[in-house]
Amino acid sequence: MAERLRSPAGQAQLELIAGLPLLGLAALIALQLLAVGYAQSLADGAAEAGAIAAADGRDAAAAARAGLPGWAERRVEVDVDGGRVAIELQPPALLPGLGGHLGVGSEAWARPESG
Amino acid sequence: MEGAPRLLICAPTGEGRGLAAAAAAVAVAATPVDGQQSRTLLLDLRADARAPRGTVFAGAGARELEERCRASEALRGVARGRLCFAVPEPAAGLEAAEALGEALHGSLGVDLVVAVCDRAGFRTLLAAGIDHRPAVLVKATRGDDRPLIALLAAELREAGAPFKVWVPPIGAIGGRRALGGLEPGGESGRRAERLASVLVPGRAGSREPHRQPGRLRAERAQALPAILGIAILIVAVGLILAAIGGAATAKGRLQRGADLAAISAARSMRDDFSRLFVPAILPNGAPNPAHLSHTQYLDRARAVAVVAAERNDLGPELIDVDFPDSGSFAPLRVRVGIEAQIGLDGDTGAAAGAEASAVAKAEVTLAAGSGSGGAPKVASGGGYSGPLAYRQGKPMRPDVAAAFDRMAAAAQGAGVTLVINSAFRSDAEQQRLWNANPDPRWVAPPGTSLHRCGTELDLGTSSAYGWLAANASRFGFVQRYSWEAWHYGYTAGPAPCSAAGDRVAGAEADGGSGGGPGLPGFVPSRFRAPLLAAAARHDVSAALLAAQLMAESNFNPNAISPAGAQGIAQFMPATAAAYGLRDPFDPVAAIDAQGRLMGELLEQFGSVELALAAYNAGPGAVSACDCVPPYPETQAYVARILALLDGAGDLLGGPPALEVRLIA
């Protein structure tokens, strides 16, 4: 065994094993970035849907929520003020300790029904 | 290469199969091919050794050794490839140790002597070559006595002699190549190289490293750089995706800004729409603050679009608003274009960056479901042909509705709730009632019921009869027949089914602005008489015909549309011919034909929306879906006319059901 660890092939295996966490971390960071970006685009779309509903005299908050997938239901805050619809969305945190720091927001305005 | 020659002794264990090949392979590996000539002598000192034959291809060093062997007369040498194979010259009768001494110390000038011996001669040779610090290669085969080899290894290690064992078979081809003085190749070649680098250091190392194309050199300990590379690659791909996502987000925001600006402008148009039809001048001669001109209407919509763009973080200088149907008297569509530079940080602005643009179109349109299902806003098919107001879903003359509101409020105060069971009924509806129960005591024959006048209400419930009998007269209602406790007619306004009754809404809405009897204020005076005549002849609301003329041609008797529609009522030549209209540019004849066509369409479709849609798009398209066909032009046409009718009498139940929506 000692012979094997000293051999170049053993060295490569050791480095591979030692490097796996690094690879995992890099992949997690990349996935986290994607999740945040996706949440941002969802928030943008939801805010627009809400504002358009407000312009047409429908329920803006309901329209904004309808534009989000199921997982976002408990992670979103919708604030409607006249024709202004503000969305706060918390994307899933893949890295520990990040929860609550990743929130993305989007705001849209359209002229509401009453002018 | 200078100095004393190096010595490698190769001995077998067991029967020693492949010994000579292994020795030759290591000797080849320890013989550099580049640069200076190197002279390696493979000296076979086994008892039964015989000199091989020479080969055509042999290195210069090997050839030189061959010559010198011939000259020495002690050894018989043959050049094969990189090596010179030699055996003791039988004629000289030398012992193995003497032959080795001759090879090492004679006039041959070798760099490396690889001596191959059998087991018996090994010790003697080792002793003879000990001054040359010999290295030892043992060719073993599987199943040989391992303890024996271990003992030998320990002994040699103590003596400081490099020692290696070659166990696996060298293979037929590899062996033949090695015995030809060539690299055996493959696994044996690599093994020979490794052994040579240990046994004869400084010889094999000077050679070019053995290339192994197409094979990852995993044994070279390159995992860490690879992992770092992959990690950097992942992060780089992530950053690229983030940049692409940022650009997509910025583009999406641009589109969103255009959408919201367009929808906001449409909202403004939808809110302002009815103000286009409010008289510009109040009865007292002052300008009407509620009135909007065409230009004001569009400017307000444009301003709202700009505000919306700003509130969605887009500069007002980026936005371009226009109205595709601005030529019509009441535009209902808006187009917003935005052009901006998108920076890599995802910000939008007019600064440097990639050019991006977005276009959005929005329109005001009839709300879904307000087509066939919508209640008529203008009465037809009865004794009353003015606008209808709805109370509790029942249509009636607007002044009757206003009086009912006052009466219902008073009844509510007294704890009585009034329910309307029936109000205006067209002759067709009366016919249905009559058919179901043809008894004149209970149902008036069609054409005789006062319900066709829009002034009669059948009220309930029976608990309200007492309050009604006591109080209805205060609000202008009288109980028509003593045997119908529920039937009240409105008598405070114009008489039922009178021309004055038809005019009641128009007169109120016009506010005395001079629109004339039963007609909205926008009707030019010279067309009032033909309109009223056509309305009376074909039993169609004059206000409806007037609104159509406004929408069709703006009362221009010579109008020609791009599609070829002609005259004040915009008849297509074929339709005009079908209705006996010889000259579509004759306004009086055209208005009469229009009244006849509308009367037929109203009868066919039973709804003002559908009749208007059929007038615009043709009856086929309407009856195909029993709805206002989804053509933007037709939808806008119907919406405009309904809005005009609203302006003609805003006692109708609120503005038409219009909604704003994005269309592109």
Averaged pLDDT for residues A89-110: 84
Same domain, B32 and B74: yes
B204 shares its domain with B131: yes
Mean pLDDT of A39-65: 90
Give yes or no for A16 touching B (CB within 8 A). yes
Residue B541 falls inside a structural domain: yes
Residue B290 carries which side chain, given as an amino acid letter?
A: A
A97 touching B (Cβ < 8 Å): no
What per-residue confidence (pLDDT) applies to B343? 62
What six digits make up the tokens of B304?
Answer: 């709202």
Return the structure tokens found at B173: 């081809």
Q: B502 lies in a domain?
A: no
* Pairwise CB contact (< 8 Å): A26 & B235: yes
Quote the CA–CA distance of B564 and B554 in Å, as a whole number.
16
Count of structural domains within chain B: 4
pLDDT at res. A50? 92
Which position has the token pair 């004040």?
B568
> Rounded distance, CA B129 to CA B11, Å?
14
> Is the CB of B660 less than 8 angstroms away from the CB of A40?
no
Contact at CB, B252 and A111, closer than 8 angstroms: no
Distance CA(B32)–CA(B36), nearest Å, equals 8
Q: Report, as an integer, the average pLDDT of A17-41.
A: 85
Does residue B555 sit in the same domain as residue B479?
Answer: no
Q: Does any domain span residue B131?
A: yes
B151 and B278 both lie in a single domain: no
Interface contact flag, A22 B231, Cβ < 8 Å: yes
What is the pLDDT at residue B641? 82
Compare all CA atoms of chain A with the CA of B254 and give the residue at the minimum distance: A44
Whether A30 has its CB under 8 Å from any CB of chain B: the answer is yes
Whole-number Å distance between alpha carbons of B87 and B104:
14
Q: What is the ipTM of this complex?
A: 0.85
Give the span between the Cα atoms of B44 and B67, in whole angstroms: 18
Question: Any chain A CB within 8 A of the CB of B291?
Answer: no
User: Cβ–Cβ of A41/B259 closer than 8 Å?
Assistant: no
Residue position matching structure tokens 């706060």: A88
Residue of B nearest to A26 (CA): B231
Range of the domain at B631: 515-662
For the full predicted model, state whether its pTM sits above 0.80: no
Verify that B106 and B66 share a domain, yes or no: yes
Identify whether B219 is a catalytic site residue.
no
- Partners of A83 on chain B (C-beta within 8 Å) are 264
Contact call for residues B43 and B108 (beta carbons, < 8 A): no
Q: Give mean pLDDT, residues A15-37.
A: 84
CATH number, domain at B443? 3.30.1380.10
Give the Cβ contact number of residue B117 at 10 Å. Answer: 26
Residue B256 in contact with partner chain A when CB distance is under 8 A: yes
Size of the A and B interface in Cβ pairs below 8 Å: 124
Distance CA B466, CA B197 (A): 125
Place of tokens 């997509």: B248
Q: Looking at beta carbons, which residues of chain A come within 8 Å of B235? A: 26, 29-30
Of B221, B242, B260, the CB nearest to A11: B221
Instruction: For residues B565 and B618, state if they share a domain.
Output: yes
Residues 56-95 of B with CB under 8 A from A: none
The structure tokens listed for B645 are 């009718």
Q: For B227, which of A7, A19, A112 is closest by C-beta distance?
A: A19
User: Which residue from B191, B166, B209, B205 is spatially nearest to B31, judged by alpha carbons?
Assistant: B205
Instruction: Nearest chain B residue to A17 by CA: give it.
Output: B223
Q: Does A7 touch chain B (CB under 8 A)?
A: yes
Task: Please check whether residue B244 lies inside any domain of the structure.
Answer: yes
- Chain B residue with minimum CA distance to A18: B224
Query: Could you tell me if B137 and B197 are in contact, meaning their C-beta atoms sit under 8 angstroms apart?
Result: no
CB crowding A22-43: b at 16 or more within 10 Å, else e: eeeebbebbebbbbbbbbbbbb
From the list B552, B603, B633, B659, the catalytic residue is B552
Predicted local distance difference test score (pLDDT) of residue B369: 43
Query: How far off is chain B from A14, nearest CA to CA, in Å?
Result: 8
- Decide if B245 and A15 are in contact by the 8 Å CB cutoff: no
Q: CB-based contact (8 Å) between A110 and chain B?
A: yes
**Residue A27 with chain B: CB contacts under 8 Å:** 234
What angle do helix axes B587-605 and B528-538 make, rounded to 10 degrees? 30
Is the residue at B613 inside a domain?
yes
Which tokens sit at B553?
A: 């041609």
Q: Which residues from chain B sit within 8 angstroms of residue A47, using beta carbons?
A: 256
Is residue A75 within 8 A of residue A38, CB to CB? The reply is no
Q: Is residue B165 part of a domain?
A: yes
B425 in the same domain as B525 = no
Count of residues for chain B? 664
| Under-70 pLDDT residues of chain B | 1-3, 34-37, 144, 203-222, 279, 343-353, 366-378, 503-518, 520-521, 646-658, 664
Determine the 3-state secondary structure of B615 from DSSP. helix
Q: Is B22 part of a structural domain of the chain? A: yes
The pLDDT, as a whole number, for residue B487 is 92
- Residues of B whose CB is below 8 A from A40: 245, 249
Predicted confidence at residue B326, as pLDDT, reads 81
The closest of A82, A62, A78 to B264, measured between CA atoms, is A82
Contacts of residue A5 in chain B, CB cutoff 8 Å?
A: none
User: In CATH, what number is assigned to the domain containing residue B583?
Assistant: 1.10.530.10
The beta-carbon neighbor of A37 closest among B231, B242, B260 is B242
Strands (E), A1-115: 76-81, 84-89, 104-109
Same-domain pairing of B484 and B547? no
Specify the residue for token string 């001494």. B101
Task: Using alpha carbons only, give the angle B426, B430, B436 rounded to the nearest 5 degrees.
Answer: 150
- Of the candidates B218, B234, B252, the beta carbon closest to that of A30 is on B234
Amino acid at site B120: A
Q: Which pLDDT belongs to residue B513?
A: 33
Strand partners, B356: B340
The model's pLDDT over B585-623, given as tens digits with 9 standing for 90+, comes to: 999 999 999 999 988 888 888 777 888 889 988 888 888
Contact A95/B at CB under 8 A: no
CA-based nearest residue in chain A for residue B241: A34
**What SS3 state is found at B6?**
strand
Q: Based on the fold, state whether residues B338 and B417 are members of the same structural domain.
A: no
CB–CB contact A15 B238 (8 Å): no
The candidate with the shortest Cα–Cα distance to B164, out of B149, B186, B144, B148, is B149
**Do residue B231 and residue A19 have CB atoms under 8 angstroms apart?**
yes
CA distance B354 to chain A (A): 20
Query: Residue B160 sits in a domain of what CATH number?
Result: 3.40.50
CA–CA separation, B151 vs B157, rounded Å? 10
Identify whether residues B479 and B348 lie together within a single domain: no
**Statement to judge: residues B628 and B577 lie in one domain:** yes
Cβ neighbors of B543 (< 8 A, separation 6 or more) are: B378, B386, B387, B505, B506, B518, B519, B520, B645, B648, B649
Q: Does B218 touch chain A if contact means CB atoms closer than 8 Å?
A: yes
Task: Determine, for residues B252 and A44 on separate chains, whether the beta-carbon distance falls below 8 Å.
Answer: yes
Check if A3 contacts B (Cβ < 8 Å). Answer: no
For B185-238, how does the pLDDT look when each residue is reduced to its tens digit (9 = 90+)? Answer: 888 888 998 888 888 877 644 444 444 444 444 445 567 777 888 888 888 888
Whether A44 sits inside 8 A of B253 (CB atoms) is: yes
Q: B34 with B177, same domain? A: yes
- Burial string for B599-615 (b: 16+ CB within 10 Å, else e) reads bbbbbebbbbbbbbbbb
**Minimum CA–CA partner of A114 in chain B:** B271
**Residue B225 in domain:** no
* pLDDT of A29 strictly over 90: no
